[in-house]
Structure 1
Amino acid sequence: MPASSSTKTAAQPPARRIREVPAVSRALAILRLLAARGEPLTLKAIADELELVTSTCLHILRVLVDEGMVKVEPSTKRYSLDVGVLALARSVVEANPFPARVQAALDRLSEAWNVTTIGVKASGLDDLVVLALARSRGPFQLYVEVGSRVPPLTSATGRLVAAYAALSDAELARRFKGLVWENAPDFEAWKKEVRAVERKGYAIDRGNYISGVTVIAAPIVDAQRRLTHALVALAVTDQLSGSRAQAVAADLIREAQALS
């Protein structure tokens, strides 16, 4: 999950490469690349990564800068996302009914267990976004923001996504090689946890993604039993050990089933 007790840049999926596609697709590819890298990039770096003609890339970047979606540092000529993207994202979140539906559950769970709770959109292998949250009342809080993206397949939410995608063992192994963890689990152990999601009704990450942090996630599904969202609880591992973790998981499952 996008959480840490200190400053941390979450791993992001690689940007999609494009070739002969319309200008809109190229612009979106540039935005995705800047979001994935999380740091300013030069014109050459952007053009090379996306296999764009430099002049074409520059023209699109100038339009994105004019529209407030991208900014350029005058001294370094490096590009990064600008606040215009936040305005669009905020509009999407405000128009989405899920945050309003889930907030009461997040607040109750956070208050009951003194953990940070979040509601995540989880449709597709790569589309995981935090839509709602409730922070713990303790002095030590994990950093999470509405609108932040969750790295695919890592942490407890990633185990849910992998389970509901019904990926083959070979595909799980291929994708596992590209995941970034602080304490990477053994692949066979991770695969068993993915396969156990349907039976247990939840997934748990004990310090794999972020050292010292335990994450528990329960699935919210639609009428066709497809994963659409997840309820997630995060806390330092000392707060979610043994029977307490099981109790929090059971409470998450009840709330998730009520929302499914």
Structure 2
Amino acid sequence: MIEIDDPTAEAGLAATVKASKAPAISRAAAILRLLGKRGTPLGVQTIARELGLVPSTCLYVLRALVEEELVAFDADTKRYSLDAGVLTLARAWLRRDQFHDLAQPVLDRLSQEFGLTTLGVQLYGLDHIIVTAMSQSSQNFQLSTQVGSRFPALVSATGRCIAAFGEWPEAQLRPRFDKLRWEDAPSWEEWRAQVAEARATGVAVDRGHYISGVTVVAAPVWKAPGRPSHALVAIGIGSAVRGEGLPRLKEALLAAARSLSEQLSG
């Protein structure tokens, strides 16, 4: 199994904290995201260093999060980790998230039909995307990420969808594009051409640029007129994303995205 991760996420957390107009809330959110991303308990000094916080300030926020049962403290190791309280928040959100309910069976079907990992992601403008649903095939070789993972908005195939259908000016796209990290980065001109292709076909494709040897296909989903609100994403290697398999996958993903858009828009 190959884990898909965002190499820029931790730097982005620190930048968000510094730029926030509500620093206390931003610090708490950044700490929760960092603990969730790492998956292992962390000490105050490590958390403070990763997020660019003063250790005493970091400790103050951590103690408040412990009181709210969002973070657990191990008195023996002096380290912090996420606590069960975050599940209450997550469950409440999932119960009201119509996209998750509608997308999950679609992702399950596509995953099994094509032998791929499929994702449902929510788009947050040019800031970031968040994985809200996921399905994996029963094949031995899998690529996976986790529900709740955050990625830069313009990365991979989903980023091309955002650029193609969001009607963002190039003056806003180019600075963000220049900060992206790829295994095999496309040039700005190549990326623009791929965005234009996505606009013409309705589906975006990343052929090994984001992760070497891995093809990512994405189709936008609309909840209301304007910019897309979500996207369906398929990730894999092999025949399903090469040769004759790719057009069939693109057609299936596009049809599923259009169906979801109709359901979400009522």
Query: In 2, are the aligned partners of 1:12 and 1:36 still within 8 Å (CA)?
Result: no
Change (3 A) 1:170 1:64: same
The alpha-carbon deviation at position 215 of structure 1 amounts to 0.9
Q: What is aligned with 2:201? A: 200
Change (3 A) 1:181 1:37: farther
Secondary structure of the residue that 1:129 maps to in structure 2? Answer: strand
The alpha-carbon deviation at position 239 of structure 1 amounts to 3.0
User: Equivalents in 1 of 2:83, 2:159: separation in Å?
Assistant: 28
Query: In 2, are the aligned partners of 1:205 and 1:215 still within 8 Å (CA)?
Result: yes
1:10 correspondence with 2:3: no
1:239 correspondence with 2:240: yes
User: Equivalents in 2 of 1:111, 1:10: separation in Å?
Assistant: 25
CA RMSD of aligned residues (A): 3.0
The alpha-carbon deviation at position 124 of structure 1 amounts to 2.0
Change (3 A) 1:105 1:127: same
Secondary structure of the residue that 2:179 maps to in structure 1? Answer: coil
The alpha-carbon deviation at position 92 of structure 1 amounts to 1.4
State the identity as a percent.
Answer: 45
Query: In 2, are the aligned partners of 1:156 and 1:203 still within 8 Å (CA)?
Result: yes
The alpha-carbon deviation at position 29 of structure 1 amounts to 4.1
Structure (1/2) with the larger helix percentage: 2
Q: What is aligned with 2:179? A: 178
User: Equivalents in 1 of 2:187, 2:226: separation in Å?
Assistant: 29
Q: What is aligned with 1:31? A: 32
The amino acid across from 2:7 in the alignment is A
The alpha-carbon deviation at position 64 of structure 1 amounts to 0.9
Change (3 A) 1:101 1:9: closer
Q: Which runs of structure 2 are paired with 1:1-260 in the superposition (5 Å)?
A: 5-7=1-3, 9-13=5-9, 14-15=12-13, 16-18=16-18, 21=22, 23-32=24-33, 34=35, 43-44=44-45, 46-47=47-48, 54-72=55-73, 77=78, 79-260=80-261
The alpha-carbon deviation at position 158 of structure 1 amounts to 1.6
5+ residue gaps, structure 1: none
User: Equivalents in 1 of 2:242, 2:100: separation in Å?
Assistant: 28
Change (3 A) 1:167 1:42: farther
User: Equivalents in 2 of 1:146, 1:35: separation in Å?
Assistant: 11
Query: In 2, are the aligned partners of 1:123 and 1:227 still within 8 Å (CA)?
Result: no
The amino acid across from 1:107 in the alignment is D
Query: In 2, are the aligned partners of 1:11 and 1:151 still within 8 Å (CA)?
Result: no
Query: In 1, are the aligned partners of 2:133 and 2:147 still within 8 Å (CA)?
Result: yes
User: Equivalents in 2 of 1:71, 1:21: separation in Å?
Assistant: 24
Change (3 A) 1:188 1:237: farther
5+ residue gaps, structure 2: 262-266
The alpha-carbon deviation at position 88 of structure 1 amounts to 2.1
Query: In 2, are the aligned partners of 1:206 and 1:214 still within 8 Å (CA)?
Result: yes
Query: In 1, are the aligned partners of 2:2 and 2:142 still within 8 Å (CA)?
Result: no
Query: In 2, are the aligned partners of 1:128 and 1:149 still within 8 Å (CA)?
Result: yes
| Count, aligned residues | 256
| TM-score (structure 1 length as normaliser) | 0.82
Secondary structure of the residue that 1:131 maps to in structure 2? Answer: strand
The amino acid across from 2:236 in the alignment is A
